[in-house]
Structure 1
Amino acid sequence: MLHINVTNETSRLRSVILGTAESNGPTPAIHEAYDPKSLEHILAGTYPVEDDMKAEMAALVAVFNKYDVTVYRPQIIENYNQIFSRDIGFVIDDYFIKANILPDREREQGAIEYIVSQIDPAKVITPPEEVHIEGGDVIVWNDHIFIGTYKGSDYKDYITARTNMHGVNFIKELFPNKIVKEFDLVKSRIEARDNALHLDCCFQPVGKNKGVIYKSGFREEADYMYLVNLFGADNLFHIDREEMYNMTSNFFSIDSDVVVIEKNFTRLKHWLQSNGFIVEEVPYAEISKQEGLLRCSTLPLLRD
């Protein structure tokens, strides 16, 4: 039986599912792009190639090995993008919740079934069909669960809107003892600089009481202020529009004082180091061209 437990984003990591760039397939056609950033790189001829992405993920594996983290990988699906494991499931406390994801991506869940099948079946939850929820929108923070959503009446028109209010209410019912707070995120189909694809694209906690935040990613100022009041203004590192576009808030914590970031994020690095964090840097800029970064490609199973 595989032991799982995650109660926050920053406790000591013991095991994780990391996506894979093996057999990633050809550059998608324009109509196959799931998000505006991928589309931008498809049109520009700068879409990432498999060898570069495999090298980036290998650098992350090396960091996990350094900290003695058990790393699981999906089974390989030929010519298929399986990098972003966070989208297909997530752990809250000792429950594994399968994400209801874009129908095109259901095969990705099959590729991790050999891992999920080792978890106590009573603790594996498949939401009903009307519930849309992806792991990038779910941030577990002790007695809180933060969930990114989109409340616009045009939700169904946005392929970039991944979690609906059914998803929020589903989590509320599942965890009645937690404070479940949803955040209405800014979405765009055409401009990646104005598209908070998931909550972790514009906010993520770090350490025991700090966070990285992009104010303009929230449709309602009250949602942004909720986090300011909860964490304290002095504990939040604010990123700008270009930094949000580069996925600066999409780092990954191995421990409450150990953070993995993309090696180009120098401003974030200096802030983290000045606050006493150990910063591990990896190249991940090619992967980020698909509007996902370190948190998106990891699915933590067990934290202390």
Structure 2
Amino acid sequence: MNRLNLNVSDETSRLRAVILGTAASNGPVPAVEDAYDPKSRKYILAGEYPTNEDMMEEMAAVNAVLEKYNVKVYRPKHIEDCNQIFARDIGFVIDNTFVKANILPDREEEIEAIQYVIDQINPDQVIRPPEEVHIEGGDVMLHGDYIFVGTYRGEDYADYIIARTNVEAIDWLKETFPNKKVVSFNLRKDNLDPYNNALHLDCCFQPVGKNKCIIHKNGFLQEEEYQYLVDFFGKENCFEITQEEMYAMNSNIFSIAPDVVISEKNFTRLNTWLRGQGITVEEVPYAEISKQEGLLRCSTLPLIRD
């Protein structure tokens, strides 16, 4: 069996292999009390929760773009009536190590659905943090020697179903990847208001191109932590998105290469800016999937970048 030689050290290098989620059998519309995030809750209440058919079409468009760029695409095995769209939550790669995420317990079977991919990785390079470490891939952002991590440091962490990465995870990353500089960011959480909730770090920040980033100031609870990123990339290299754009998930696009991104077709202002930076923008429809407070980065799990 050919082993998968994992390699991911940043968000934008040329993509060679990825796991793309699936919307084949999302199951019935969840009850309001079962919503994992305020945006899903809003659309459940409005009777506008996305349909399987619409979401399958949107994911097929992404798959087509990935194939156009000769990226090897793996899909999760089919689980009936299970939301398997957001592959990023269940695992992530740091350099050549696959980390199985400790996610909400009732999502455990989602990891089983990609086990056939994990089986192709050298077992020495597959790790899982201890139980007290909560961490999801949407909060983990690689940038060369740096790992940027979204967290929530509040005493009321347990009260927030949308707080997915705890402070124990920061310590664990520092111990497990001592060669990396781990920088954490305290994110704004709100169980009920999707306009004031950064579910993951990639809901309010993401590097793009070679030295640029997309960022939303209000996603950060501490202004100095937001300022750290602005200074790190340089103000002229930061595309500041509005609250409305954050809500629409503008920071959750996905890079195939430093000069190629997949973005939502309605992100007019962002896509114009990206093209102005010399980046090719492959536009896809993804507005239905975004109703679940996730977009393109959330539904992809990169395995190999150059």
Counterpart for residue 20 of structure 2: 18
Counterpart for residue 251 of structure 2: 249
Identity rate, percent: 65
- Measured in 1, the distance between the counterparts of 2:284 and 2:170 equals 33
Q: What TM-score, normalized to structure 2? A: 0.99
User: Post-superposition shift, 1:177?
Assistant: 1.3
CA deviations 1:48-107 (Å, max 9, x no partner) are 000000000000011001100000000011011000000000000000000000001001
Counterpart for residue 29 of structure 2: 27
Unaligned residue ranges in structure 2 (runs of 5+): none
Counterpart for residue 181 of structure 1: 183
User: Post-superposition shift, 1:117?
Assistant: 1.0
Counterpart for residue 9 of structure 2: 7
1:55 alignment partner, one of 49, 54, 57? 57
Is 2:67 the partner of 1:68?
Answer: no
2:107 alignment partner, one of 105, 108, 133? 105
User: Post-superposition shift, 1:23?
Assistant: 1.1
2:206 alignment partner, one of 201, 204, 223? 204
Secondary structure of 1:196 counterpart: coil
User: Post-superposition shift, 1:261?
Assistant: 0.3
Letter in 2 for 1:28: P
Secondary structure of 2:174 counterpart: helix
User: Post-superposition shift, 1:175?
Assistant: 1.0
User: Post-superposition shift, 1:3?
Assistant: 1.3
User: Post-superposition shift, 1:270?
Assistant: 0.6
Secondary structure of 2:50 counterpart: coil
- Measured in 2, the distance between the counterparts of 1:66 and 1:113 equals 26
- Measured in 1, the distance between the counterparts of 2:5 and 2:227 equals 36
Which residues of 2 match residues 26-45 of structure 1 at below 5 A? 26-45=28-47
Structure 1 vs Structure 2 CA RMSD: 0.4
CA deviations 1:248-293 (Å, max 9, x no partner) are 0000000000011000000001100111100000000000000000
Counterpart for residue 128 of structure 1: 130
CA deviations 1:164-218 (Å, max 9, x no partner) are 0111111111111111000000000000000000000000000110000000100
Give 4+ residue runs of structure 1 displaced > 6 Å after superposition: none
Is 2:301 the partner of 1:299?
Answer: yes
2:292 alignment partner, one of 285, 290, 293? 290
Letter in 1 for 2:240: H
- Measured in 2, the distance between the counterparts of 1:105 and 1:167 equals 19
Secondary structure of 2:16 counterpart: strand
Letter in 2 for 1:289: K
2:171 alignment partner, one of 165, 169, 172? 169
Secondary structure of 1:271 counterpart: helix
Letter in 1 for 2:39: K
User: Post-superposition shift, 1:128?
Assistant: 0.2
- Measured in 2, the distance between the counterparts of 1:57 and 1:13 equals 18
Counterpart for residue 139 of structure 2: 137
Secondary structure of 1:211 counterpart: strand
- Measured in 1, the distance between the counterparts of 2:15 and 2:165 equals 26
Letter in 2 for 1:244: M
Which residues of 2 match residues 204-283 of structure 1 at below 5 A? 204-283=206-285
